[in-house]
């Protein structure tokens, strides 16, 4: 079973592809009830990563004691290219102590399209860009350059290769 929560459709894109590859049903986190996953041994949760949190992940956290006998895999969709660092931060902020070491978390690169962003997200991105532009250009890393270059435009970093660790975790290639 694939459960997902998307804001700007990158996560849904990954959920659909994973659902096809696994021939597994998918359901939006907002619509899911515990009874919807009771018959599945494996639950893959995909959610957008925003300001350190994984969208909709509270459903898994809140019900973890009831579903901890299932194989649970988490995928967080983020803009960063620093997947390892993002994984560490997201795991620390989102996984409970009981989940750590039991629930694998992977980071998948997403997309940005300013024309589809709500006011608050556009505002937060403008603050981030202004803050980054204050730094010396020689100190900009790949993510900072991409953020500044794509500001106000669209950039799609989604790639099926980011699903490979999840498929490997499920023994599917």
Can you tell me the distance from the alpha carbon of 105 to that of 83, in angstroms, rounded to the nearest whole number? 11
Q: Is-contact 53 114, C-beta < 8 A?
A: no
- CB neighbour list of residue 51: distance below 8 Å, 6 or more residues apart: 124
Helix (H, G, I), strand (E, B) or coil at 88: helix
Average of per-residue pLDDT across 54-83: 94
Both 70 and 151 in a single domain? Answer: no
Note whether 104 and 40 are same-domain residues.
Answer: yes
- Select the more confidently predicted residue: 136 or 45: 45
pLDDT given at position 48? 94
Do 42 and 91 lie in one domain? The reply is yes
Q: What is the pLDDT of residue 148?
A: 83
Do 47 and 81 sit in the same domain of this protein?
A: yes
Same domain as 50, residue 9? yes
Q: Is the pLDDT of residue 160 over 80?
A: yes
pLDDT band with cut points at 50, 70 and 90 for residue 17? very high
pTM over 0.85: yes
Torsion over CA: 157, 158, 159, 164 (sign): positive
């Amino acid at each position: 079973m694939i459960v997902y929560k998307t804001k700007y459709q990158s996560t849904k894109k990954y959920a659909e592809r994973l659902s096809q590859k696994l021939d597994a049903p998918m359901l939006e986190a907002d619509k899911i009830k515990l009874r919807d996953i009771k018959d599945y041994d494996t639950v893959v949760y995909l959610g957008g990563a925003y300001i350190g949190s994984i969208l909709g992940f509270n459903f898994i956290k809140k019900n973890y004691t009831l579903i901890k006998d299932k194989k649970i895999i988490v995928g967080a969709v983020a803009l960063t290219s620093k997947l390892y660092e993002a994984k560490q931060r997201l795991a620390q902020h989102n996984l409970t102590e009981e989940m750590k070491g039991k629930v694998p978390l992977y980071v998948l690169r997403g997309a940005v399209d300013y024309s589809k962003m709500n006011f608050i997200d556009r505002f937060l991105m403008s603050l981030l860009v202004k803050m980054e532009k204050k730094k010396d250009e020689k100190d900009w890393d790949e993510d900072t350059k991409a953020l500044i270059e794509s500001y106000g435009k669209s950039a799609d970093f989604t790639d099926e290769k980011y699903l490979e660790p999840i498929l490997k975790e499920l023994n599917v290639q």
